[in-house]
Amino acid sequence: MHNDGMWIYGWHEVFRRMKVVADIVKGAISLLVGMGVTIKAFLSPTVTVQYPRQTITIPPRFRGHTKLVADPKNPEKTPCIVCGMCVRNCPSHSIKKVEGEKKEGEKTKTVTEYILDFTTCSQCGICVETCPVDALAFSADYNPAGYRREDFHYDLVKEFEKRRTRE
């Protein structure tokens, strides 16, 4: 339809103009919806944890470095028998040294030194899985820090003793 008068629109033009108005209304509503979202967030409690002052509980399946666990029958010592399975199975040779001695009146060896090089450990868990006496587990130590790489060569026996005496 041909039109050249200023006030005479074709139907097409009328629909186009109505659509523009509808778009504006829709846009304005969407702005209000957005403001509703932010004010709801503003009024709801914060979700951040103020880390050094607050900490979250570490889930039980968290994989920190490995630790020696206490023997359920005798919490004074670990069930480790110094068999060396973990050393042999470690894919990155992170377990440097497992030493033990046979004490008087005991059937098995007792671990005296267990050196784990945590810098190369990938927390794969093969040592935990292969341990025949379930002496190993993952710790919940999530924030190890140190100044030199030797700081991450852990002696798990010493760490176990420290943990035991603290408790």
Contact flag: residue 38 with other proteins (CB under 8 A): yes
Residue pair 97/31 in contact by the 8 Å Cβ criterion: no
Cα–Cα distance measured from residue 156 to residue 136, given in angstroms and rounded to the nearest whole number: 10
List the interface residues with other proteins, window 39-58 (CB under 8 A): 39, 41-42, 44-48, 50
CB of residue 52 vs other proteins: minimum separation in angstroms? Answer: 11
Tokens at 83, concatenated? 């068999």
Cα–Cα distance measured from residue 97 to residue 87, given in angstroms and rounded to the nearest whole number: 8
Which of 24, 29, 58, 140 binds other proteins (CB under 8 A)? It is: 24
- Contact map string, positions 80 to 119, toward other proteins, x by CB under 8 A: ----------------------------------------
Contact flag: residue 29 with other proteins (CB under 8 A): no
The β-bridge relationship of strands 109-117 and 153-155 is antiparallel
